[in-house]
């Protein structure tokens, strides 16, 4: 069983072409919808009294949401960000933690023996606390971002030490170690505990570091880019979803998982919020997988 913990958010996203206000987002939302294409996925998170019923239904249709709490007193986590013409660069306008600020998460009885746990980007202290509540997960992967690196760096480092794999985007990895080389960052991440690190580089693909080897993989080429929000989480969810279906996690398996990560990330950026991700069919994934192999086999 795969359980994903992270934020379930209302996102306001501004691009030079369009603004979407309070649309469904959050790291656990993107990651778990993406993962659910390869395996049944359970979600742990919290939303507030302002969370629309239609979003709740959308999650319910795709996921096991027995781990989703609805607060009657506080508002949903809200993230407001902008992109310029270079959609690779995001500016955070506002992070309103609201309901997630002081919430003590619990793991529902039915999820405790989850073999696979994905700790999507969230407060690293909450991530560490919730991890202790699972009985004996076989594989744990976490993600983090600049907000937590800036505000709780020591806790981010402690969390990284407790997981089997870490995913980060390039600028965040560089911020974490005050380093300019992505390769060095990947090595530093692994020297801190996990057996592998994946660094995402947007349209420049992603880098895996495992067993002292670097494996750079290209992104799936798509000309449609509307909103990159959630691409990293969609990558992470698909990566974890694939790994949860495998017997071992050697370099070859990790590389194959990255291909699915790249493909799901490529869908997410094609529309605002989760719009494209929720319309993806098994056949679409299969087609991009075939295409990916065709393009990159020589």
115-134 binders of ligand AMP (CB under 6 A): 121-122
Q: Which stretch binds ligand AMP (CB under 6 A): 20-28, 180-188, 212-220, 246-254?
A: 20-28
Q: Which stretch binds ligand AMP (CB under 6 A): 6-14, 41-49, 59-67, 111-119?
A: 6-14
The least CB distance from residue 27 to ligand AMP, in Å, is 5
Comparing CB distances to ligand AMP, the nearer of 39 and 95 is 95
b or e along 179-197 (b: 16 or more beta carbons within 10 Å of the residue's beta carbon)?
eeebeebbbbbbebebebb
Task: Say whether residue 145 binds ligand AMP (CB under 6 A).
Answer: yes
Q: Which stretch binds ligand AMP (CB under 6 A): 4-12, 38-46, 208-216, 287-295?
A: 4-12
b or e along 254-289 (b: 16 or more beta carbons within 10 Å of the residue's beta carbon)?
beebbbbbbbbbbbbbbbbbbebbeebeeeebeebb
12, 27, 41, 98: which one binds ligand AMP (CB under 6 A) = 27
The least CB distance from residue 138 to ligand AMP, in Å, is 25
Report d(CA 69, CA 46) in Å as an integer: 5
E strands within the chain? 2-5, 9-14, 19-25, 41-47, 64-70, 78-83, 90-96, 116-119, 139-143, 165-169, 196-200, 206-210, 213-217
Strand duo 213-217 + 196-200: pairing: unpaired
Per-residue contact string for residues 226-255; x = within reach of ligand AMP by CB under 6 A: ---xxxxx----------------------
43-82 binders of ligand AMP (CB under 6 A): 79
What does DSSP assign to residue 203? G
Comparing CB distances to ligand AMP, the nearer of 95 and 195 is 95
Comparing CB distances to ligand AMP, the nearer of 81 and 244 is 81
Comparing CB distances to ligand AMP, the nearer of 60 and 89 is 89
Distance separating the N- and C-terminal Cα atoms of the chain: 37
Residue that has been written with the tokens 């379930």 in this structure:
8
What is the size of the binding site for ligand AMP (CB under 6 A)? 17
The least CB distance from residue 136 to ligand AMP, in Å, is 26
Three-class secondary structure assignment of 49-111:
CCCCHHHHHHHHHHCEEEEEEECCCCCCCEEEEEECCCCCCEEEEEEECHHHCCCCCCCCHHH
In the complex, residue closest to ligand AMP by CB: 25
The residue ranges that bind ligand AMP (CB under 6 A) are 7, 9, 11, 25-27, 79, 95, 121-122, 145, 147, 229-233
């Amino acid at each position: 069983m795969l359980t994903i913990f992270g934020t379930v958010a209302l996102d306001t996203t501004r691009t030079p072409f369009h603004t979407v206000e309070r649309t469904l987002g959050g790291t656990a939302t993107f990651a778990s919808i993406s993962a659910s294409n390869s395996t049944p996925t359970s979600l742990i998170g919290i939303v507030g009294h302002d969370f629309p019923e239609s979003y709740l239904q959308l999650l319910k249709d795709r996921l096991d949401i027995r781990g989703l709490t609805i607060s009657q007193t506080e508002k949903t986590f809200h993230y407001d960000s902008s992109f310029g013409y270079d959609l690779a660069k995001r500016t955070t306008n506002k992070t309103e933690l609201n309901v997630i600020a002081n919430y003590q998460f619990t793991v529902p009885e039915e999820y405790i023996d989850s073999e696979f746990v994905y700790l999507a980007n969230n407060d690293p202290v909450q991530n560490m606390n919730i991890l202790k509540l699972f009985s004996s997960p076989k594989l744990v992967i976490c993600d983090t971002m600049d907000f937590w690196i800036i505000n709780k760096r020591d806790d981010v480092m402690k969390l990284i030490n407790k997981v089997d794999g870490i995913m980060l985007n390039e600028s965040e990895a560089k911020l974490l170690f005050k380093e300019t080389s992505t390769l060095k960052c990947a090595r530093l991440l692994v020297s801190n505990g996990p057996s592998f690190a994946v660094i995402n580089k947007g349209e420049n693909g992603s880098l895996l570091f495992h067993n002292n080897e670097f494996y750079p993989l290209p992104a799936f080429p798509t000309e449609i880019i509307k909103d990159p929000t959630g691409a990293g989480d969609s990558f992470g969810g698909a990566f974890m979803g694939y790994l949860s279906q495998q017997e071992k996690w050697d370099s070859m398996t990790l590389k194959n998982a990255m291909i699915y990560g790249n493909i799901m990330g490529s869908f997410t950026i094609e529309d605002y919020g989760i719009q494209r991700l929720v319309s993806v069919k098994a056949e679409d994934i299969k087609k991009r997988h075939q295409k990916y192999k065709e393009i990159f086999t020589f």
